[in-house]
Chains A and B, each alone.
Chain A
Amino acid sequence: MLGLGLAISVGKRILGGVIEALMSTLRGRAEYSENNTDSKAVVKDIDNYELLDKATILLTPTATSNARVHSVKTYTGDELVTNGTFDTDLTDWQISSWWTWNALGAYHPPTNSHKPLYQQTCEVGKTYKISFDLNVLQGSAKVSLGTNTGSTSQVFATDLSTGSYVYYIKAEYEYIIFNRNNASGNNEYYLDNVSVIDVSSDFDFDRASSATRINSDGLVQDMQSITDPELVLNGDFEELSDEEVTNGTFDTDSDWTLGSGWSISDGKVTSIGSNFGEQIKQTILQTNKIYKLSFDIVDYTSGNIALESVYYGVTQTFNGIGSYVAYFTSLSQTEFRLYSQNFVGSIDNVSVQQVDPNDRWSLGTGWSIEDGKASCDGAGALTSQSIIDQNKTYLVSFDVVNYTSGDIRSVFSGDGATYSENINSVGTYTRFVTSSITTGKLQFYPNSSFNGSIDNISVKDITFSTDVDLARINYDSNGDNGHILLEPTSTNLITYSEDFSQWSKEATVTLTPNYGISPDGTQNSTRMQMNADDSLYISTSSGLIASFYVKGTLGETIRLSNGSATTHTLTGNWDRVETYDSGSVSSLISINTYSGATARDIEIWGAQAEALSYATSYIPTHGSTVTRATETLTGSGNSTLINSTEGVLYAEIAGLVDADTSDRVISLSDNSITNRVEMKLSSSGSIQGRFDSASSDITLTETGLTASNFNKIALVWSSGKCALFINGVKEQEDLTFNTFASDVLFDLSFDSAYLGGSSNFYGNCKALAVFDEALEDDELELLTGITNYGSFNELAQANSYTII
């Protein structure tokens, strides 16, 4: 059988490297792409085993978009719409006579009647990415899938106004249809750039909150920081306008107004002297803006070039051969003027660019922007644009890069109660602020006066969002081993996870906030100095597992108590320490030096207490408990990509814990309880494969493996056979399996339609694949094995043989 996978790969190979083509296509359609090298290695391994052609779905941890996780295979990228850009006409579309072509696209003239424009693009059961642009002049548009008469049946977008739209739709009909939205009133719009692409191998992802991960730098990162942009614009003060000067290189004698004694020739402008006050100028300035000037003095005899105070408030003079940079404020001037103070010489490469051209900042008295920083020598305010919303928590950070005198403070405008502390030294400063104002701006206010410079201003909304549907690609603390992380819902019951000043402490404990670089990469760890039998503690409720990050002197010990206690030996690096109390609901979390713990000076960060038996990813809190929502990854596949009568479900996965409270399941199914292939990390700690067809229900179980380690698992089924392979070994086999009827399996999800949400797969996944044929045992041994090589010599060398 020339399977779909094979057909695709053959096509790609003709065009070039199949893996490169797959990865490139993947990157092209994902909003976020990372971990490419490791993912490519996974794909390459499968290709080396000569199995890539047989994989109809292949997922690696590399490409995500909002609410989607993209599979490497099978995605052709083939555009299924013909003439979706309406370049010259409406060819290939079926239309009522109402629609006409226009240079702006397909034109739907005003009407309240059903006038469809439609094209056959889909196959029932497949999932499609449907995108298009609308320019709505009145009324609104509706988009649906329907029949060959243009009858709308599967409406997925209504009341659309002007904009670009993207939808992921599982097709129940074959035709995409555009028509009017409302039967009352006119609906008039232009339609353009219609695209329909088969994305049936992709997954739907959902998590109704933000979450943190370990990123590829080994740092704890809130996913919100990826999806939400930096709120402060031009926080590094490096934004410059396009070049304002015309003919700044003096290639021609044009564009400049030349005063007496000035002339342009030989690619430069020359002043012959005895012309004090004579200028070269262009009308290029806006009033009351700051500009950056740069130019070269390429010949010099005597005199000065000047920016004159009469125009720009301050006189700046330049002489001698060299390159010069200066900042000036235009005040009321619209003309840029270079002034000769009896200058004898030539200049070249004149450039003028507006600083902060988009007015990201308002400069109060004493503030200026120069050299990529904001400087102050007065008492006014430096004010951002409106970026603050009410009741959100923000992380504000900035650098004081120069300091002479006075104090500077940050504040949200109109929210005077939340001034930061007075800052009066060079350094990096961070601050968590919950805004009480409806809308606001970030301001830097001197406390009476400030003489210094600030830079790298950042404001991040760190409110644990309820809408960050971006799947997590998580890494080890060294940035290796990227994998998709799926976790259950969990609440950090500690209300101040990073601000330990909110904790209780014994008198001899000294805390220093913002002491060092924490696991999230910013300077927000807390130094904790203490004596023997000291403690820092906070009350919680319902917490079973407590955890925190700690860094201290190698070999010393620190203790974490939570009803139970764990004494941890410090490594000199950041460690996450956990202690689990199964016997009671703890009410107090304590970091202490009881029972002989030897550490006296440590850094701490990221405390967490959860009502689980194991610690999940860090959930930051800043005054209240915070809940991370459960994650689901579902809805890949269709009955073409999944061969029901025979096939393989393969995954490289690790559980979050050796034995969770429920089975953790990845399944191929008919989305009901009738037909399913389930890969389970069972609640008993075993690894299982369940093959449940209309006339067989076989569970293959393998114990003795650690489910929380990454295991390569393959379930294979065919007529009369099913088997469970783990890490290169056929662990279990049953030769009585009555296989599935054709085309009954169509859904690949990280859950069990049979067992319901309680058996969602929570764990780590480095690879997932579906093969549309029952691979040979030896191929499954390769696929799931870890010790095979590309040549006899490689095998020999890896096993310390002498090659004869």
Chain B
Amino acid sequence: MGKGIVKLGEGKWAVKDGNLLAAKETNGRFKNTEFTVSRGTDATYVNRDGLIVNETGDDTPRIDFTDNTDGHLLLEPQSTNLVTYSEDFSEWTFLGNTDINATNITSPSGENNATNITGLNGSGSNDLRKQLTYNTANKTLTFSVYLKGSGTLRLQMSNGVDQAFQEVITLTNQWERYSVSETFNSTSVYIFYLVIDDYLGLTATSYDIWGAQLEELSYATSYIPTNGSTVTRDADTCTGAGEAADFNSEEGVLYAEIAALANDGGNRRISISDGSDTNRLNLFYNETTNEIKANYRVSNSTVVTIDTTDFNITNFNKIAFRWQSGNFILYINGENKGTNSNTTMISANTLNVLRFEDPNLVNEFYGKCKAIRVYKEALSDTDLENLTS
């Protein structure tokens, strides 16, 4: 009672072009502690109805409901869909018996713009493919596409010379996004193929297809529609929530329920700072696979670091980091993952901003966030256990 808690999410979301609403809740009253959001381009997300929709506000944050009903903030790096016709498969090449049977199939967007492909018989010679003029040398690529049907299919990326990466997938009667990711060798090529076929013995005879995407990333990001040219979605940034009155520099708790987009080796940070790198605290994913880390930095010196690799970071984890003189602790999913008795503390009234990045505008947090809470008091171990369970 009496001390406010800065809150984001937890099923309560409000957005507008340029801002994501967070609120400091004190005694049941709500004060605006909004984030500033920028992206600069359209982007898609899965709405509350499970449909993929385009967010037309260039700087409107995306609340994505993929696989959950509470929604999560989706923050992604810049990415380009190198497939120039992501939905118009008449622009693709048909080999063997494959052909378009229909183009008015209801797609994951809810529109009647998916395509039904027929002519597969397991012979391995019935391909739907897209030929791209693209040099794969040393590139890590991810090919993704939405498919629906029954039986098995093969997805393949091939440089046409000495490398082809593939996944055999099993279709269902629901739209699902399938992908294949790999890093190509240094062979320079100029022709590159995306292939969907009935490789020897595969059983699908027809399928519905929509939303093909090729990205220079190790994982698939949100769908980027194209129609004749490549399209780039810019990176999301989410910064600048709160002010000094909203944070307690001397003690408190930063809580987050977050998931990484991938174990991609990126340094993905949430910070509370004085606006510089001098005084800050972080929750973040590190270069180490599945590492979750918290640190506390005073006058340019990191005095507390607590980390763990006990959890799959691509799952949503409930993480709480308490800072208090002599009483630091990191709780994840109800478990104490480390303590620190540091007594060197950031001075009172110093911390003044919450960001999904480091204060020096690097190490952006790309991932999913269901909830953030910043407490102005050091919760007890029991409270933290309950909070993160």
CB interface residues, A 710-749, toward B, < 8 Å: 729-730, 733, 735
Encoded as 1 (CB less than 8 Å from any A CB) or 0, chain B from 115 to 155 comes to 00000000000000000000000000000000000000000
Structural contact, B245 and A796, CB atoms closer than 8 A: no
Nearest CB of A to B49, in Å: 12
Q: Is the CB of A801 within 8 A of B21?
A: yes
> A796–B21 Cα gap in the complex (Å)?
7
The reply to whether B245 and A791 form a contact with Cβ atoms under 8 Å apart is no
Which B residues are in CB contact (< 8 Å) with A801? 14-16, 19, 21
Within 8 Å of chain B (Cβ to Cβ): is A48?
yes
- Please indicate the chain B residues that have their CB under 8 angstroms from the CB of A781 in the complex: 4, 26, 31, 245
Interface flags, B237-264, vs A, CB<8A=1, else 0: 0000000010000000000000000000
Which residue of A775, A778, A788, A803 contacts B14 across the interface (Cβ within 8 Å)? A803
Q: Is A51 an interface residue (CB 8 A)?
A: yes
- Contact A802–B16 (Cβ < 8 Å): yes
Select the residue from A793, A794, A802 with max chain B CB neighbours within 10 A. Answer: A802
Q: Which chain A residue lies CB-closest to B1?
A: A50
A98 interface residue, CB < 8 Å from B?
Answer: no
B353 contacts partner chain A, Cβ-Cβ < 8 Å: no
Closest to A725 in B: B245
Whether, in the assembled complex, B32 has its beta carbon less than 8 Å from a beta carbon of chain A, the answer is yes
Question: Complex: how many Å from CA A307 to CA B48?
Answer: 86
Contact of A778 among B13, B15, B21, B376 (CB under 8 A): B376
> Is B14 a contact of A796 with CB atoms below 8 Å?
yes
**Least CB separation from B2: chain A residue:** A776
By beta carbon, the residue of chain A nearest B377 is A776
Establish whether residues B14 and A802, one from each chain, have CB atoms under 8 Å apart when the complex forms: yes
Q: Are A789 and B12 in contact (CB under 8 A)?
A: no
- Could you tell me the distance between the alpha carbons of A792 and B29 in the complex, rounded to whole angstroms? 8
Q: Which residues 754-804 of A sit at the B interface, judged by CB distance below 8 A?
A: 775-779, 781-782, 785, 787-796, 799-804
A787 to B26, CA, bound (A): 13
Q: Nearest Cβ distance between residue B310 and chain A, in whole angstroms?
A: 32
Does B34 interact with chain A (Cβ within 8 Å)?
yes
Secondary structure class of chain A's binding surface, majority of residues: mixed
- For B26, the chain A residues whose CB sits under 8 A away are 49, 776, 778-779, 781-782, 788
Question: Counting CB contacts under 8 A, is B23 at the interface?
Answer: yes
Quick one: CB contact mask for B24-38 with A, threshold 8 Å, 1 for yes? 101111111010000
Cα distance A777–B376 when bound, in Å? 10
Contact (Cβ within 8 A) A48 B29: yes
Cβ contact of B29, chosen from A735, A790, A802, cutoff 8 A: A790
Q: What 0/1 pattern do residues 46 to 78 of B give for CB contact below 8 A with A? A: 001000000000000001000000010000000
Inter-subunit contact B31/A795 (CB<8 Å)? yes
A-B CB pair tally, cutoff 8 Å? 89
In the complex, A775 Cα to B27 Cα: how many Å?
A: 12
Contact: A778 with B30, CB < 8 Å?
Answer: no
Residue of B nearest to A54 (CB): B2
B21 touches A795 (CB 8 A): yes
Given A795-B30, A801-B16, A729–B21 Cβ distance below 8 Å? no
Chain B window 317-346, contacts with chain A (Cβ cutoff 8 Å), 1 for yes, 0 for no: 000000000000000000000000000000
Chain B residue numbers with a CB within 8 Å of A48 are 28-29
List of B residues within 8 angstroms of A49 by Cβ: 26-27, 29
B34 neighbours in A (Cβ, 8 Å): 799
Interface string of B1-23 (1 = CB under 8 A from A): 11110000000111110010101
Q: Which of B14, B16, B28, B71 contacts A790 (CB 8 A)?
A: B28
Question: Does A792 contact B245, Cβ atoms closer than 8 Å?
Answer: no
A775 to B3, alpha carbons, bound, how many Å?
A: 9
Contact B245 A777 (CB under 8 A): yes
Question: CA A776 – CA B23 in complex, angstroms?
Answer: 17
B23–A778 contact, CB under 8 A? no
| Measured CA separation A795–B28 after assembly (Å) | 12
- A341 CB to closest chain B CB (Å) equals 80
Q: Using a CB-CB cutoff of 8 Å, which residues 224-244 of chain A contact chain B? A: none
The residue among A49, A775, A777, A778 with the most chain B CB atoms within 10 A of its own CB is: A778
On whether the beta carbons of B2 and A779 are closer than 8 Å, the reply is yes
> A434–B245 Cα gap in the complex (Å)?
62
In the bound complex, CA of A804 to CA of B57 (Å): 14
Contacts of A802 in B (CB 8 A): 14-16
CA distance A785 to B4 in the complex (A): 14
A50 neighbours in B (Cβ, 8 Å): 1, 27-28
Q: Which residues of A contact B30 (CB under 8 A)?
A: 788-792, 794-795
What is the CB-to-nearest-CB distance from A729 to chain B, in angstroms, rounded to a whole number? 7
The smallest C-beta distance from B170 to any residue of chain A, in angstroms, reads: 33
**Beta-carbon contact of A778 and B48 below 8 Å:** no
**A49–B12 alpha-carbon span in the complex (Å):** 21
A800 neighbours in B (Cβ, 8 Å): 16
What CA separation (Å) do A801 and B12 show in the bound complex?
Answer: 12
Residue of chain B at shortest CB distance from A729: B245
Q: In the assembly, what is the distance between CA of A733 and CA of B244, in Å?
A: 13
Q: Which residues of the partner chain A approach B2 to less than 8 Å between Cβ atoms?
A: 775-776, 778-779
Given the complex of chains A and B, what is the CA–CA distance between A431 and B117 in angstroms? 99
Chain B residues within 8 Å of A803, by CB: 13-14
Known: A782-B26, A796-B14, A801-B21. 14 other contacts (CB 8 A): A48-B29, A778-B4, A779-B26, A782-B31, A787-B31, A788-B26, A790-B28, A796-B21, A799-B16, A799-B32, A800-B16, A801-B15, A801-B19, A804-B71
16 contacts between A and B (CB under 8 A): A777-B3, A778-B24, A778-B376, A782-B29, A782-B31, A785-B31, A788-B30, A791-B30, A792-B23, A794-B30, A795-B30, A795-B31, A799-B21, A799-B34, A802-B14, A802-B16
Name the 10 nearest CB pairs between A and B, nearest first. A776-B2, A778-B4, A796-B14, A801-B14, A804-B13, A50-B27, A778-B26, A795-B30, A788-B29, A804-B63
Task: List the interface of chain B (C-beta within 8 A of A).
Answer: 1-4, 12-16, 19, 21, 23-24, 26-32, 34, 48, 63, 71, 245, 348-349, 376
